[in-house]
Chain A
Amino acid sequence: MPVTEASGVKAWQRRDRRQQFSIWLGWLIGGLVFVQSWRFISEHTIWEFALDAPAQAWDLMVRMVPPRWSYMERLWVPLWDTINIATIGTLLGIIIAFPIAFLAARNTTPSRVLVRPIALIVIVSSRSINSLIWALLLVTVVGPGVLAGILAIALRSIGFIGKLLYEAIEEIDAVQVDAIVATGASRPQQLAYGILPQIMPAFAGISVYRWDINIRESTVLGLVGAGGIGLQLNASVSKLAWPEVTVIFAVIFVTVIISEWVSARVRHAII
């Protein structure tokens, strides 16, 4: 009890002794885990190299300026590819995720025992695996190039859009659906009039948000051969052409800022 009374004086403490103790215990365990993890990392680090970092950083800076702006003309095509990977990949992801979300949502799934777990497994496995890993996998399957990138983005987006969308479907106002059911509407009509209008803003917002993330992700897919500006980045880094790397960074920075602006504007317009 936070309030204790001793010889007529009421004392007050924020927590009683047991609560306080368990909080201390939590911090202690957390601290131990952190220290052990740090020791593990430290053992796997060559500290001579690590301590050299400021010098290395300075060296890198010196080599990165001035940027070789003329390299820009060879970046337009990879940039176009990058945007295409993100956009077409997102579209594919949306097309697949949309029905899956309905199968996964508790209130719209045709079968809670059979269909829902499968839909959830699809969503979880898609979400657990980063798009770069999907790309790694797809490059070995369909070969290097833009197609692997598009499919990687699509496969990763399914889980993201699917999860947020099915949560949105589960949160809809059931009374509105009841009202449509009460008119004698068929299942598809219930969907079209009772559910879709409620989730459309969320759906559009989620899709645009994912597109924005995908632009960022697609800039690195080239590192494993899945097309886009990452291919150029990989080439420039491996031949230590730092002035070119600077130009690529600048291009990525501007692209991401623009996509973020576009996505914010579109979401603002929808909501």
Chain B
Amino acid sequence: MLALHALTKRYPTGDLAVHNVSLEVPKGQVMALIGPSGAGKSTLIRCVNRLVEPTSGSVMLDGHEITALGGAALRRARRRMGMIFQEFALVERLTVMENVLSGRLGYVGFWKTFLRRYPQRDIDQAFRFLERVGLTEFVDKRADALSGGQRQRVGIARALMQEPSILLVDEPTAALDPKTSRQIMRLICELCAERELAAIINIHDVGLAQMFAARIVGLCKGEIVFDGSPRNLTPEALTLIYGEEDWHATIKRDEDEPEPADAGAGAGGTGSDDRQLVA
């Protein structure tokens, strides 16, 4: 479904942000993209929906080439790819509802969106998503009145409104506290499972990535240096991605962590020891 082939991005400054990346993300797969700051994670996912123009290579979504599209065709391709942002990127001064409805911009004509006269079908859908992310009573609140976690939920609802076949998620938890981070990640993964959505999630937090993603891709200096299941993410692999450091503490997370945190600290503790032995 999403296939990148030999994707390269060189900025006008000469920096090679993404170098010869080839990648396939099948339907319904949640993939985490990890790597140090400046490894090209953000650039890579922005190349997919061409917020950043790739220098060479190809991006195929459901068998359609995206890199050659222009104008209206590009906008039609973009609405198939929902994007969720690091600092939420909500339109701060608009209401929650307007923000969610803005996910339909690619489908609804200018004057209808200008007058905020969306088709009732979209409005029903927006109410459903707001209920799903738990923000029903915030419909008419302005986006800048919400907390970080609430804002990201609005961002998720907006991305879903696009009826995407893939989610591009850029550091969804970077501005959130640890508990909210888990809730948001869990929500994204649940929604992907419900709707058979593929997702590429850029994430700094290796622990969260292991906890929620089915597949992990490590990026270093614009190139893929690791691609595999979370189980195979050994200290050696992390050293390859991030450089020399004592990684054992980072990996001592367990599979049962995605369950509510009160599953039992003791069990988690022993589990983590097992994990280290496996590693």
Contacts and interface: CB of A to CB of B under 8 A. Distances in A.
A and B in direct contact, judged by CB atoms within 8 A: yes
Interface of A: 2-3, 9-14
B169 interface: no
B116 A10 contact: no
Given A2-B140, A3-B139, A3-B140, A11 B123 contact: yes
B116 A14 contact: yes
Contacts of B124: 9-10
A271 to B, nearest CB: 26
Contacts of A12: 97, 118, 123, 126-127, 139
B143 to A, nearest CB: 14
Nearest to A13: B116
Q: Is the interface of B mostly helix, strand, loop or mixed?
A: helix
B98 interface: yes
Interface residues of B, number: 12
B140 A9 contact: no
Contacts of B95: 2, 14
Interface string B122-158: 0110110000000000011000000000000000000
B127 A2 contact: no
A11 B120 contact: yes
Contacts of B116: 13-14
Interface of B: 95, 97-98, 116, 118, 120, 123-124, 126-127, 139-140
Contacts of A3: 139-140
B102 to A, nearest CB: 12
9 contacts: A2-B97, A2-B139, A9-B120, A9-B124, A10-B123, A10-B124, A12-B97, A12-B118, A14-B116
B28 to A, nearest CB: 31
Nearest to A2: B140
B210 to A, nearest CB: 40
Nearest to A12: B123
A13 B118 CA distance: 9
Q: Looking at B118, B120, B126, B140, which has the most chain A CB atoms within 10 Å of its CB?
A: B140
Contacts of B98: 14
A260 to B, nearest CB: 29
Nearest to B98: A14
A2 B123 CA distance: 12
Top 3 closest A-B pairs, CB basis? A14-B116, A12-B123, A10-B127
Q: Looking at A11, A13, A14, which has the most chain B CB atoms within 10 Å of its CB?
A: A14
B78 to A, nearest CB: 25
A9 B119 CA distance: 13
A2 to B, nearest CB: 5
A2 B120 CA distance: 14
Contacts of A13: 116
A14 B140 CA distance: 9
A13 B98 CA distance: 10
Nearest to B123: A12
Nearest to B115: A14
Nearest to A1: B140
Nearest to A16: B140
Contacts of A2: 95, 97, 139-140
A12 B124 CA distance: 9
A12 B95 CA distance: 12
B99 to A, nearest CB: 12
Contacts of A11: 120, 123
Contacts of B118: 12
Contacts of A10: 123-124, 127
A164 to B, nearest CB: 27
Given A2-B97, A12-B126, 9 more contacts: A9-B120, A9-B124, A10-B123, A12-B123, A12-B127, A13-B116, A14-B95, A14-B98, A14-B116
Contacts of B97: 2, 12
A14 B112 CA distance: 12
